[in-house]
Homo-oligomer: A and B are copies of this chain.
Amino acid sequence: MLTNDPSGTAHGTSPTDGLFDLGDFVLQCGATLRGATLAYKMHGTPNANKSNLIVYPTPYSAHHSDIEWLIGPGKALDPARYCIVVTDMLGNGLSSSPSNTPAPYDRARFPVVTIHDNVTAQHRLLTEHLGAERIALVAGWSMGAQQAFQWAVDQPQMVERIAPFCGTARTTAHNAVFLEGLRAALTADAAWDNGWYDRQPHRGLRAFARVYAGWGFSQPFYKRELWRQLGFSSLDDFLIGFWERRFLRRDANNLLTMLGAWLRNDISAGQRFSGDLKAALGSIRARTVVMASETDLYFTPEDIEYEASLIPQARYQLIQSVWGHQAGNGLNPVDSEHIDQQLKKLLQE
């Protein structure tokens, strides 16, 4: 199904699925994932001097196919002009994950993965497989935004632009409490069995989904019943048909692995910045547009604007939307258009 194309040469304009062999991949936590892989999908072709590479990492729980709405002819991420590499997060079920890693690092034993680990893996894909020396843009929503910030900090000479939307460079305390609620809901199901289940703990996954539902959109989104625009027939139909469906597709350990990366997300962690967020944000050299949704309940505009103010070349843009965090997920055409316009502007700078 997924193929590894080791040629590193030109691809056609039809998107290419790939599975990059990371070999023995040493994680920040000290574990080695032997035979680790990074899944990705490439839209477009690298140009001669490889100046048209865009990295677009997946957000929480998503596969690369879930975020292709931002890519297309006439859009900022136009495959005719750019080579857009959509990278799958470690733990998302396509890249190395609890669900697809053989023993002994399988399932509940899958090690702790960080945003930095993800960016390290992506950097290897871009440099070793595609021969990249610079990246025109790293763009991403939510956990994709976290990866964009991390790219800018880890590879300041390489990353020309970043466009993180609806995400922060360090997970805030309240955001962590939200995540603790999700984790507690999922793991309250005895069928979870500390990660050693043979069948997915569906009660836990459904609880996880219902907890998520309150946070994912805003209060006025629910008041105005905007879920009708997404084709749902009642509030409960939306909770089941949108939210439960979204997470029942996923593996519980995978969700917990990605949740762990989100919880630990902090570009200032480690020896280089020793937790000094101002210094870490101040080190970013990329031209930056940071976007926030006005009604986002866990990546609040206040938090995002504060971080943006500490990045030397950053522009802060508010998405005026009642779609909450999901304003950045391609569901509401007006919000998607706003994001696309900001990306176009940034790519011209």
A25 within 8 A of B: no
Partner of A172, one of B183, B219, B298: B219
**B235, A176: Cβ atoms under 8 Å?**
yes
**Which among B184, B204, B219, B239 is the interface contact of A180 at CB below 8 angstroms?**
B239
Does the CB pair A219–B185 fall under 8 Å?
Answer: no
Does A154 lie at the interface of the complex (its beta carbon under 8 Å from any beta carbon of B)? no
Task: From the candidates B177, B203, B235, name the one contacting A222 in the complex (CB within 8 A).
Answer: B177
In the bound complex, residues from chain B placing their C-beta under 8 Å from that of A172 are 219, 222-223
Interface-forming stretch among A138-146, A209-217, A267-275? Answer: A209-217
Interface string of A210-250 (1 = CB under 8 A from B): 11111100111111010000000001000100000000000
Chain A contact patch, size range: 35 or more
| Contact across chains for B190 and A190 when beta carbons are under 8 A apart | yes
Interface residues of A, dominant DSSP: helix
Residue A26 interfacial (CB < 8 Å): no
Q: A177: which of B178, B203, B213 is its contact (CB, 8 Å)?
A: B213
Nearest-Cβ distance from residue A208 to partner chain B, whole angstroms: 8
Contacts of A186 in B (CB 8 A): 188
Chain B, Cβ-Cβ closest to A183: B210
- Inter-chain CA distance A292–B204, complex, in Å, is 34
Q: Are A177 and B302 in contact (CB under 8 A)?
A: no
Question: A35 — which chain B residues lie within 8 A by C-beta?
Answer: none
When each residue 164-202 of chain A gets 1 if its CB lies under 8 Å from chain B and 0 otherwise, what string results? Answer: 000000001110111011011111111100000000000
Cβ < 8 Å to B, chain A residues 270-292: none
A223→B184 contact, CB < 8 A:
no
Given known A219-B302, A219-B303, contact A235–B188 (CB-CB < 8 A): no
Q: Which residues of B contact A219 (CB under 8 A)?
A: 172, 174, 297-298, 300, 302-303
Chain B residues with CB under 8 A of A207? 181, 184-185, 187-188, 207
Contact partners of A181 in chain B: CB under 8 A? 181, 185, 207, 210-214
Task: Determine which of B180, B185, B215 lies in contact with A188 in the assembled complex, contact meaning CB atoms within 8 Å.
Answer: B185
Asked if A174 and B210 sit within 8 Å, CB to CB, the answer is no
A300 to B: closest C-beta gap in Å: 5
- Cβ-defined contact, B223 with A174, below 8 A: yes
Known interface pairs A172-B219, A183-B210; 7 further A-B residue pairs with C-beta atoms within 8 A, sorted by A's residue number: A173-B223, A174-B218, A177-B239, A181-B207, A184-B211, A188-B207, A219-B300
11 sample A-B contacts, Cβ–Cβ < 8 Å, listed by A number? A173-B223, A174-B223, A177-B210, A177-B239, A180-B239, A181-B181, A184-B210, A189-B189, A189-B190, A190-B191, A190-B203
The chain A residues found within 8 Å of chain B, CB to CB, are 172-174, 176-178, 180-181, 183-191, 203-204, 206-207, 209-215, 218-223, 225, 235, 239, 297-298, 300, 302-303
